[in-house]
Amino acid sequence: DAKTTQPTSMDCAEGRAANLPCNHSTISGNEYVYWYRQIHSQGPQYIIHGLKNNETNEMASLIITEDRKSSTLILPHATLRDTAVYYCIVTRGGADGLTFGKGTHLIIQP
Amino acid sequence: DAGVTQSPTHLIKTRGQQVTLRCSPKSGHDTVSWYQQALGQGPQFIFQYYEEEERQRGNFPDRFSGHQFPNYSSELNVNALLLGDSALYLCASSLRSQAYEQYFGPGTRLTVT
């Protein structure tokens, strides 16, 4: 699986868009980008995934650069409940176990 | 629709002992994965079970073993416990056909003294 690099922590004001970057310069053509988050004292939660096109669901948007070497997770209107550790994971998907790094600790400020 | 459940919530064991952790997957899911999360770290993949067989395994010693039952529930067994096995153990369930979307339980906090 390709290695990912994320900032250790980020702050965002409540109500603003939170943009979380992820670098994955060694990604292979058949590898997907997945995002999970982990709120304190809970198990991780799936957010969104993509291969090369931008994706949007009820939780977030995922923007993948054309060369696929980086991506950005966007939470359009951050709330205090979005404070969590966000993990960017690159893998072939399917039956593979997920490889989590240390993620980005996103803190939403009131 | 019940989510992923794990038992027990917390557990304290002594070095050298054996422990069994249990997981019930989300209704309709057929695949169960186990992860170990040390304090301040991301979860680390232990293994995955499907159709009652271990299908994938991470970099964990044979002291870690598991089982999946016909009702898709699963157990994680750890033998000869070490202090370094103290961690949060997470169970995740999914559909085999959608294994990227894993639903995690709240975890079992294991402390080895």
CB B16 within 8 A of CB B80: yes
Q: Which tops the pLDDT comparison, A16 or B99?
A: A16
Q: A46 to chain B: which residues are within 8 Å by CB? A: 100-103
Tell whether B97 is within 8 A of chain A (Cβ).
no
Mean pLDDT across chain B, nearest whole number? 94
What pLDDT, on a 0 to 100 scale, did the predictor assign at position B2? 63
Beta carbons of A108 and A16 less than 8 angstroms apart: no
User: Considering only CA atoms, which of B44, B30, B53 is closest in space to residue B103?
Assistant: B30
- Residue A53, judged by CB atoms within 10 A of its CB (0-12, 13-18, 19+), counts as exposed
Q: Give the number of other CB atoms < 10 A from CB of residue B82.
A: 12
- Answer whether residue B32 shows pLDDT above 80: yes
Question: Are the beta carbons of A98 and B44 separated by less than 8 Å?
Answer: no
pLDDT number for residue A95: 61
Tell me the β-bridge partners of B72. none
Q: How far is A11 from chain B (nearest CA, A)?
A: 19
What is the rounded radius of gyration, in angstroms, for the C-alpha atoms of chain B?
13
